[in-house]
């Protein structure tokens, strides 16, 4: 019998005007490791957009963030 481990997480790409967010699952079996992207959305990079982002993430509590400038200070 093949065992399977699933871990949920998200990734955020921070730009000057928008946040691009992907929700995904890491699936690990004896044969392979695979990331299954469930959904990708963009949000405005303002207070309203961040509130929508929090609702979108729901139960997804662990993630990573990438920024190409000092934009992450505001999100943090």
Q: pLDDT tens digit string along 3-60?
A: 777 889 999 998 888 999 999 998 888 888 888 899 999 999 999 999 999 999 999 9
- The verdict on pTM exceeding 0.85 is no
Which residues partner with 62 through β-bridges?
none
DSSP-derived pairing of the beta strands 33-44 and 63-67: unpaired
Dist CA 27 CA 4 (whole Å): 7
């Amino acid at each position: 019998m093949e065992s399977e481990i699933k871990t949920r997480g998200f990734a955020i790409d921070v730009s000057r005007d928008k946040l691009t967010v992907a929700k995904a699952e890491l699936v690990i079996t004896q044969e392979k490791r695979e990331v299954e992207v469930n959904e990708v959305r963009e949000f405005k990079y303002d207070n309203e957009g961040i509130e929508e982002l929090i609702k979108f993430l729901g139960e997804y509590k662990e993630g990573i963030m990438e920024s190409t400038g000092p934009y992450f200070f505001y999100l943090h």
